[in-house]
């Protein structure tokens, strides 16, 4: 790596905003009421006069109001302290905070560049083009904008001025903007870094809205000897404590759940118990539900059993699959001396994993060998674990802050093309945001503060991939879709590493770059080889990835993808990289909703018909917004599209329905008023059978029709069947109405 540093710092041009016009004035706004009810209809949250751009849906408004608005300590016009009420306040406090820290530490070439940076960020948040992970919404800018400090909570940071690790003076002067943490745990009960200390470190993370993953493979298995005599109670007994601790904490001080990942190596002596943990707990839930307990996820049945507050994953090395193919035995080894404690047929282990995944979706599988062969910093140690959603894979005791691009904002529906320049621009802009976020952050332990400062990992990703594929009329499970997804990801990731190298040119590379330079450049070369689909160019990989297939990829995307990686490698070889990692693709479960994404992360759409929430409460059924243009792109005529949409959504009325319609219902004894109630309720119905009950029609109606209280209160009671309609008739009417 060359030592000569470039003197020019970051410069920005405008893409979304206009000189002299506030980004906040580029939108029209609504004042809305946000009401959120639980399944029983009880109002659990209500707020009036929530200011959002008109383009925002009611669901995006609700997420903002309930989850992301600061609820206390915000100066009000009358001089009192209250809560945030406008998205403008939130966009300003975050974008301003990033600008302030960036200016303070010399990221921008000029003050004008800093102002453009701020305005472009504010616009991209308001326009739902790209937003940061939830902890930024919770914590970032509270000090700069409102003077909020808060009592210190035991956090640490590394001061960039002198490189010294220091304890935070308060809770918000340095925010906790990172969503993803990986913590280590030692085989020790009460000392620092041990089991009980882990629950404290996790609590600091959960409190500020973040999630954590840990590999527990160092913990002795049940029956292993203790230094003071006796034997260990085993890993599973301690995992149950951590599960309860996480369940007691609402993340970020809201109703967002604590996010926790438990990883375990496949050779741990208690791995079979770990695989079956949630399977057995689900059986207990079934028994409790059968006994009459509430079966909702927040209900008493699930609250009673263990294991419901974490995702579980197994770390599986390539060696296991070799043993599996040979139909051999897999060895489970002691944690203290490495001796073989038990041998289990590999086929039995694999079958248990598959059954558990089918039965309760846990544990997941993480392929340890492949993960570590793509590790940019192996000199710092192995990758042992991930964050709760498994997108962030890096060293123990590190953290990653995320942001996600809404791909639909960079897709032209008229030409079916992706705005490559827009993707490159937004990727560079937000890579800088995430790097500045490392600079300003505080962390839940000394170790995490130091290593996060030393490696500076970032996590830019995207959402709405499934939507742009549907808009194009391209099947999600197709070679063409995979090529487009690969190209978009290559453009984004190549651009972020290029930006990281650009920042390294004047700020210097991350602290541990020098000792990992050859490994990191090898990984960068492998990424470039994948972009070119140059199989012979891969270096030190046991399993070669599937490259970007030119046969299926639009030429303009292929050209941009290969150029992005040429630039990233060329600049990185010259200056190094500011960040050890720059991209992850998160599930975007909450921020995807605040961006009004039809699809989250890399996922396909889950339904063609959805329910749209109304500002005054209630829902109505709509076709997925991507369906009509997709049908047009597939060559359907407008009248055919209209018919398909009507069939998919349903008529939302019994008028004209086969077998069950106003005429037949009237003959069965329904009044005109009751039929009107059914028509009104049909707009939000999944099945018509759900409408014919005492809640929609009232008990007097059912009693007049000849049914007593015992009959219609029976959960197995079907009014339509009782009235003499056959299953075929009910199905036909249901297909028409719903």
Predicted confidence (pLDDT) per residue in 287-315, tens digit = 988 888 887 777 888 888 988 889 999 99
pLDDT > 90 in the chain, percent? 74
Q: Do residues 627 and 690 both lie within one domain? A: no
**Residues 710, 643 share a domain:** no
179 found inside a domain = no
Query: Considering the domain boundaries, does residue 691 fall inside one?
Result: yes
Residue 618 and residue 707 share a domain:
no
Residues 640, 714 within the same domain: no
Count how many domains the chain has: 4
Least-confidence region, from 232-241, 438-447, 660-669: 232-241
* Residue 599, domain member (yes or no): no
Evaluate whether residue 656 is within a structural domain.
Answer: no
Mean pLDDT of 542-557: 97
- In-domain check, residue 41: yes
Same domain for 328 and 207, yes or no, is: yes
The predicted pLDDT at position 190 comes to: 86
Strands 81-82 and 393-394, bridge-based pairing:
unpaired
Neighbouring C-alpha atoms within 13 Å toward the C-beta of 8:
6
CA distance 363 to 300: 23
Does residue 12 sit within a domain? no
Residue 169 falls within a domain, yes or no?
no
How far apart (Å, rounded) are the C-alpha atoms in residues 379 and 161? 26
Mean pLDDT in residue range 461-482: 96
* Residue among 160, 248, 235, 155 at smallest CA distance from 199: 248
Q: What is the pLDDT of residues 323-335, one digit of tens each?
A: 999 999 999 999 9
As a whole number of angstroms, the distance between CA 167 and CA 36 comes to 39
Tell me whether strands 398-406 and 458-463 are parallel, antiparallel or unpaired: parallel
**pLDDT for 151 beyond 70:** yes
Q: Which residues pair with 331 in a beta bridge?
A: 343
Closest CA to 598 of 427, 456, 408, 446: 408
Where does the pLDDT of residue 374 fall: very low under 50, low under 70, confident under 90, or very high at 90 and above?
very high
Q: Vertex 514, ends 517 and 393: CA angle to 5°?
A: 60
- Report yes or no on 140 lying in a domain: yes
Question: Does position 239 have pLDDT exceeding 70, yes or no?
Answer: yes
Q: What is the sign of the dihedral through the CA atoms of 128, 133, 134 and 135?
A: negative
- Rounded Cα distance, 733 and 729, in Å: 6
Domain match, 468 and 536 both: yes
Does residue 582 carry a pLDDT above 90?
yes
- Extract the tokens encoding 350: 């694999």
The one catalytic residue in 224, 282, 391, 674 is 391
Q: In this predicted structure, what is the pLDDT of residue 3?
A: 45
The more confident residue out of 103 and 210 is 103
400 is catalytic: no
The predicted pLDDT at position 618 comes to 61
Active site residue 389: yes
Q: Give the pLDDT of residue 1.
A: 40
- Residue 40 pLDDT: 56
Q: Domain range holding 530?
A: 23-149+386-593
Catalytic-residue membership of 701:
no
631 and 571 within one domain: no
Mean pLDDT in residue range 569-589: 97
Q: Which pairs with CB-CB distance under 8 Å and at least 24 residues apart come from 487-490? A: 487/548, 487/553, 487/554, 487/557, 487/558, 487/560, 487/561, 488/407, 488/418, 488/423, 488/462, 488/557, 489/462, 489/583, 489/585, 490/527, 490/530, 490/531, 490/548, 490/561, 490/562, 490/564, 490/565
Catalytic residue chosen out of the listed positions 139, 311, 312, 387: 387
Q: What is the reported pLDDT for 255?
A: 45
Provide mean pLDDT across the span 362-379.
98
Q: Are residues 634 and 733 in the same domain?
A: no
**Mean pLDDT in the chain?**
92
Question: Are residues 473 and 578 both part of a single domain?
Answer: yes
Phi, psi of 353 (to 5 degrees): -60, -45
What is the pLDDT at residue 391?
Answer: 95
Residues 636, 666 share a domain: no
**pLDDT tens per residue across span 76-95:** 999 999 999 999 999 999 99
- pTM for this predicted structure: 0.90
Q: Which of 329, 362, 395 is the last residue of a domain?
A: 362
**Same domain assignment for residues 334 and 425:** no
Spatial neighbors of 99 by CB under 8 A, at least 6 apart, are 114, 115, 117, 118, 121
The answer to whether residues 346 and 261 belong to one domain is yes
C-alpha closest to that of 626 among 404, 417, 473, 461: 473
Question: Position of tokens 């109405």?
Answer: 737
Q: What is the largest CA-CA distance in the chain?
A: 90
CB neighbour list of residue 192: distance below 8 Å, 6 or more residues apart: none
Active-site entry in 360, 389, 701, 738? 389
């Amino acid at each position: 790596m060359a030592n000569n540093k470039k003197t020019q710092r970051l410069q920005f041009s405008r893409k979304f905003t206009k000189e002299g016009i506030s980004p906040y004035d580029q939108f029209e706004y609504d004042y809305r009421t946000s009401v959120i009810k639980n399944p029983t209809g009880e109002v659990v949250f209500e707020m009036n006069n929530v200011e959002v751009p008109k383009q925002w849906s009611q669901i995006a408004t609700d997420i903002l109001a309930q989850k992301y608005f600061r609820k206390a300590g915000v100066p009000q016009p009358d001089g009192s302290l209250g809560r945030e009420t406008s998205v403008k306040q939130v966009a300003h406090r975050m974008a301003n905070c990033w600008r302030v820290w960036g200016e303070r530490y010399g990221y921008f070439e000029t003050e004008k560049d800093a102002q453009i940076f701020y305005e472009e960020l504010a616009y991209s948040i308001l326009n739902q083009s790209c937003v940061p992970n939830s902890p930024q919404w919770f914590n970032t800018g509270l000090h700069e904008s409102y003077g909020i400090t808060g009592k210190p909570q035991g956090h640490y940071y590394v001061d960039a001025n002198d490189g010294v690790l220091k304890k935070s003076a308060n809770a918000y002067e340095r925010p906790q903007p990172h969503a993803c943490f990986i913590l280590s745990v030692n085989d020790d009960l009460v000392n620092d870094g041990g089991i009980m200390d882990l629950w404290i470190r996790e609590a600091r993370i959960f409190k500020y809205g973040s999630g954590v993953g840990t590999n527990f493979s160092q913990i002795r298995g049940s029956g292993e000897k203790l230094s003071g005599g006796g034997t260990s109670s085993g890993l599973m007994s301690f995992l149950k404590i951590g599960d309860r601790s996480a369940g007691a904490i609402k993340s970020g001080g809201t109703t967002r759940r604590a996010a926790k990942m438990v990883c375990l190596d496949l050779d741990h002596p208690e791995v079979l118990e770990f695989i079956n943990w949630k399977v057995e707990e689900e059986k207990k839930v079934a028994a409790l539900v059968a006994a009459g307990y509430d079966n909702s996820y927040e209900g008493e049945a699930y609250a009673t059993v263990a294991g419901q507050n974490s995702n579980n994953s197994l770390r599986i090395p390539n060696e296991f699959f070799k043993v599996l193919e040979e139909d051999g035995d897999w060895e489970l080894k002691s944690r203290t001396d490495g001796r073989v404690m038990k041998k289990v047929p590999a086929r039995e282990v694999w079958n248990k994993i598959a059954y558990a995944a089918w039965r309760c979706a846990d544990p997941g599988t993480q392929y340890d060998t492949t993960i570590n062969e793509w590790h940019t910093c192996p000199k710092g140690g192995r990758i042992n674990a991930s964050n709760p959603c498994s997108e962030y894979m890096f060293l123990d005791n590190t953290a990653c802050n995320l942001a996600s691009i809404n791909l639909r904002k960079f897709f032209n529906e008229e030409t079916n093309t992706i705005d490559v320049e827009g993707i490159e621009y937004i990727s560079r802009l937000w890579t800088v945001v995430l790097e500045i976020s490392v600079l300003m952050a505080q962390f839940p332990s000394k170790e995490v503060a130091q290593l996060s400062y030393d490696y500076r990992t970032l996590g830019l990703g995207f959402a709405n991939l499934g939507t742009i594929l549907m808009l194009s009329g391209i099947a999600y499970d197709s070679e063409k879709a995979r090529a487009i997804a690969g190209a978009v990801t290559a453009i984004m990731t190549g651009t972020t590493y290029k930006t990281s190298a650009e920042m390294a040119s004047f700020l210097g590379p991350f602290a541990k770059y020098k000792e990992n330079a050859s490994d990191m450049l090898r990984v960068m070369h492998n990424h470039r080889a994948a972009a070119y689909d140059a199989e012979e160019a891969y270096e030190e990989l046991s399993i070669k990835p599937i490259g970007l297939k030119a046969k299926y990829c639009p030429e303009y995307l292929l050209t941009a993808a290969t150029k992005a990686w040429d630039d990233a490698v060329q600049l990185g070889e010259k200056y190094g990289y500011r960040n050890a990692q720059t991209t992850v693709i998160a599930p975007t479960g909450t921020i995807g909703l605040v961006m009004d994404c039809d699809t989250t992360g890399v996922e396909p759409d889950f339904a063609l018909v959805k329910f749209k929430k109304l500002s005054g409460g209630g829902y109505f059924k709509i076709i997925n917004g991507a369906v009509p243009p997709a049908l047009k792109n597939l060559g359907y005529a407008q009248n055919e599209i209209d018919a398909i949409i009507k069939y998919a959504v349903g008529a939302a009325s019994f008028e004209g329905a086969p077998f069950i319609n106003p005429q037949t219902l009237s003959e069965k004894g329904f009044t005109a008023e009751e039929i009107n109630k059914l028509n009104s309720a049909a707009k939000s119905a999944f099945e018509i059978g759900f409408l014919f009950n005492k809640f929609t029609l009232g008990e007097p109606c059912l009693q007049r029709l000849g049914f007593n209280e015992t009959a219609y209160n029976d959960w197995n009671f079907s009014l339509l069947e009782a009235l003499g309609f056959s299953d075929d008739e009910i199905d036909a009417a249901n297909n028409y109405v719903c």
